[in-house]
Amino acid sequence: MTCQFRCGNACAHEVPNTSDNAYFSDILTGALSRRGALRAGALGTLIATVGVAGAAPALAEPADPAVEPLARGHQKNGLRFAPVAPNTRDVLTVADGYASSVVVRWGDPVLPDAPAFDFDNQTAAAQAKQFGYNCDFVTFFPMGRDRSLLWVNHEYTDENLMFRDWSTGDTATVEEIKIGLAAHGGSVVELERARDTGQWKLVTKGRRRYNRRVTAQTRMRFSGPAAGSDLLRTAADPRGTTVYGMLNNCAGGTTPWKTVLTAEENFNQYFVGGNGVPEAQKASLTRYGVSTTTAIPSGNRRFDRVEERFDLAKHPHEINRFGWIVEIDPFDPDSTPVKRTALGRFAHEGATTTITRDGRLAVYMGDDGRFEYVYKFVSKDRYIPGFDRHNFSLLDEGTLYVAKFTGDSPAAEIDGTGKLPSDGGFDGSGTWIPLVSGDRSYVEGMTAEEVLVYTRLAADKAGATKMDRPEDIERNPVNGAVYVALTNNTNRTAAQVDEPNPRAANKHGHVLEIVERRNDPAATTFSWAVPLVCGDPADPATYFAGYDKTKVSPISCPDNVTFDAEGNLWISTDGNALGSNDGLFAMPLAGPERGHVRQFLTVPVGAETCGPLILDDQRSVFVAVQHPGELTGASPDAPASHWPDGGSSQPRPSVAVAWHKQGKKIGS
């Protein structure tokens, strides 16, 4: 069921990446040694704050680049909580000593004049004013100590859980389809702190002047080098500059100038008529996972029955107008969201910003598909704190790169079982291959506009490394390294394993750690390692950075990551293939406890854990509990979950917050 509604049954179809890019590690040119690779990007004792909030920090040079950077030191990690045991309970379970509450649920009023939620009498007009479905990315914009705005993505809809007797998009009522359109997008809501605790609550009274709903029908504009391109022009928008709505917004990011970056992911599933596009467009459609032989793919929501633009046979370019990073100003509810074309077009999973050593903005991005790629954008100009009019154009000009990873062990030692090679680690070096800078394309045979609109095809030509579903990518504010969650890839065969993706039939996923040269996000070379190969710790194919596996929590399908103030990695999961519920985990990255994974919370039946977000004061952790009750066979008459309201209620995707009962920092 997850497959049908979230990604249009992607797994049941051919993998869209049929490029002949290498699976095996290429032999390292120049025989870069392991020590040399470390020197190329070593972190040393590190470092200053590199978070999104500050100006460019002066990063220290590594003290001794020959020493393995991330294992050195005995840094205190501050993690003291007892792990939550794997379970299949239909509740949000937090570690002992913590409390949790629901902040906002599907259907809760967002705009002050929104009607109360009524499951059996829902309307599109009500939904457009209420909190949308399937909450994903969450981010926080403090307004003083006790007030804040919360941004939340609404990735997709589960129509068969939202409506009684729903069977397909073909037979859905027009009103149901319109509710679906209105339940996508995102929300801005105002929160207030509950007394002096780590708990936050939805503000439900008063003007709430910033509260906003963005939907699949909100007017947006294009900016950057591909805005106005022929490839973005349609009958309704002959100039190629205006588009309505955003689709399947999964993870995201926050800019230093306090705007949201929200990532359109599996947009391909919303269109019909792929068999009717001009012949010349078919290759690009196929590469983006759209059938060019079927008029109406099974499971399609049939938005085209309400808005003809979703029929590619009639409007072949409409799909090119989705799959972007969208920037939204949460402090201006009348602002027009902007699709930033300089960041490329693919199944964007997230967009994490950080500042380069010379003050420019870097954005890390994953393309969440089997055998897809890792990307980075670096702005041409510098970020200037306080000069927002300038900063607001930073994402329109810069260079888009794709990652190529090279292992440092002989290919014969990477056998697909997860067995470590003789040098003791899955690791190596890498390069960021430039694809496009402004109007200049680096890809032979493709214009800059084509590179930006058909980024996957450009990355194929550039020889990028095919990864196991690159999801969230985030930079650690303490050690400066960049962490990539690779959710899984059961399609990878033993013949296709390589050192960065070392396990065949990778059911449980892994985490990859990138150390940019000179710890500079603008670098074009890096070293990397795999500190975590997920699964049941009793399974010899798993690896927990060398930590004692009898003492770690089982973990499967890492999806989103974040950090606490000590630089510990927090990982949320999606699709736990070990038979228990998804959850949130913490893992120290430094010192003797590197690899000591512990589960902090579990989410209810059928849900994945999104977010996560640890507030700067370390007193609260937010998670988005997406698609509770999303199990095959579930329906409103037979719900698989009753979370969060309990009893016989319908499940409602919701954002929750957890805090320590004595006000201690998260993880204590």
- Please report, as ranges, the residues that interact with Ca ion according to CB under 5 A: 250, 408-409, 421, 423, 425, 427, 559, 574
265 binds ligand FEO (CB under 6 A): yes
Q: Which of 551, 554, 539, 658 is nearest to 596 (CA)?
A: 551
Q: Which residue blocks in 269-323 are alpha helix, DSSP H?
A: 282-287
Q: Quick one: what does residue 329 bind among Ca ion, ligand FEO, none, with the CB cut-off 5 to 8 Å set by partner type?
A: none
Q: How far is the CB of 574 from ligand FEO (least distance, A)?
A: 6
Confirm if 187 and 139 have CB atoms less than 8 A apart. no
Q: Does 498 bind ligand FEO (CB under 6 A)?
A: no
Closest by CA position to 560, among listed 579, 537, 584, 539: 584
Given the complex with Ca ion, which of 296 and 571 has the nearer CB atom? Answer: 571
Which CB, 471 or 582, lies closer to ligand FEO? 471
Q: Which of 407, 404, 280, 312 is nearest to 19 (CA)?
A: 404
- By beta-carbon proximity to ligand FEO, the closer residue of 349 and 460 is 349
Q: How far apart are CA 242 and CA 583, in angstroms?
A: 39
CB 262 within 8 A of CB 325: yes
Which one of Ca ion, ligand FEO, none interacts with residue 617, CB within 5 to 8 A by kind? Answer: none
The entry of Ca ion, ligand FEO, none that residue 290 binds, CB within 5 to 8 Å by partner kind: none
Element (H, E) at 175: helix 174-183
Closest CB to ligand FEO among 318 and 368?
A: 368
Residue 155 C-beta: closest distance to ligand FEO, Å: 5
The residue count for binding ligand FEO (CB under 6 A) is 6
Residues in the chain: 668
The helix or strand, by DSSP H or E, that contains position 467, with its residue range, turns out to be strand 467-468
Q: Least separation, in Å, of the C-beta of 80 and ligand FEO? A: 31
**Residue 468 interface partner, choices ligand FEO, Ca ion, none, CB cut-off 5-8 Å depending on type:** none
Query: Which residues in 236-255 contact ligand FEO (CB under 6 A)?
Result: 250
Among all chains, which residue has been given the structure tokens 């909030």?
53
DSSP assignment of 614-635: E-TTSS-EEEEEE-TT--TT-B
Q: Are the CB atoms for 610 and 137 separated by under 8 Å?
A: yes
- Sign, CA dihedral 355-357-362-367, equals negative
**Residue 264 interacting with ligand FEO (CB under 6 A):** no
Q: Give dist(CA 143, CA 258) in Å, integer.
A: 11
Q: How far is the CB of 368 from ligand FEO (least distance, A)?
A: 4
Closest chain position to ligand FEO (CB): 250
Residue pointed to by tokens 């702190």 = 193
Is 349 an interacting residue with respect to ligand FEO (CB under 6 A)? yes
Least distance between ligand FEO and beta carbon 370 (Å): 11
CB within 8 Å of 364: residues ≥ 6 apart: 350, 351, 352, 354, 374, 375, 376, 473, 474, 475, 482, 521
Q: Which listed option, ligand FEO, Ca ion, none, makes contact with residue 409 (CB within 5 to 8 Å by class)?
A: Ca ion
Would you count residue 471 as binding ligand FEO (CB under 6 A)? Answer: yes
Per partner kind, with CB cut-offs from 5 to 8 A, the member of ligand FEO, Ca ion, none near residue 552 is none
Distance, in Å, from the CA atom of 366 to the CA atom of 494, rounded to the nearest integer, reads 24
Smallest distance, Å, CB 250 to Ca ion? 5
Task: Indicate which of ligand FEO, Ca ion, none lies near residue 423 (CB less than 5 to 8 Å, by partner kind).
Answer: Ca ion
Q: H or E stretch including 660?
A: strand 654-660
Binding flags for ligand FEO, 96-135, as an x/- string (CB under 6 A) = ----------------------------------------
Q: Is 494 helix (H, G, I), strand (E, B) or coil?
A: helix
* Shortest reach from residue 437's CB to Ca ion, in Å: 29
Distance between CA atoms of residues 186 and 200, nearest Å: 19
Minimal distance in Å, beta carbon 98 to ligand FEO?
A: 26
User: Are 185 and 161 in contact, with CB atoms under 8 Å apart?
Assistant: no
Residue 155 interacting entry, from ligand FEO, Ca ion, none, C-beta within 5 to 8 Å by type: ligand FEO
Q: At closest approach, how far in Å is the CB of 608 from Ca ion? A: 6
- In contact, 69 and 502? CB cutoff 8 Å: no
Collapsing DSSP to helix, strand or coil, 287 comes out as: helix
441 binds, among Ca ion, ligand FEO, none (CB under 5 to 8 A by kind): none
Q: Is 582 in the site for ligand FEO (CB under 6 A)?
A: no
Closest CB to ligand FEO among 317 and 348? 348
Examine residue 342 and tell whether it contacts ligand FEO (CB under 6 A): no
Nearer to ligand FEO, 81 or 373 (CB): 373
Task: Return the residue of 155, 408, 460, 513 that touches ligand FEO, per CB under 6 A.
Answer: 155
Among 90, 311, 368, 427, binds ligand FEO (CB under 6 A): 368
83 binds, among ligand FEO, Ca ion, none (CB under 5 to 8 A by kind): none
Between 372 and 513, CB nearer to ligand FEO: 372
What is d(CA 631, CA 634) in angstroms, rounded to the nearest whole number?
6
Query: 471 vs 520, which CB is nearer to ligand FEO?
Result: 471
Strand pairing category for 621-626 and 608-614: antiparallel
CA distances in angstroms from 191 to 146, 332, 452, listed in the order given: 8, 16, 37
- Interface residue list for ligand FEO (CB under 6 A): 155, 250, 265, 349, 368, 471
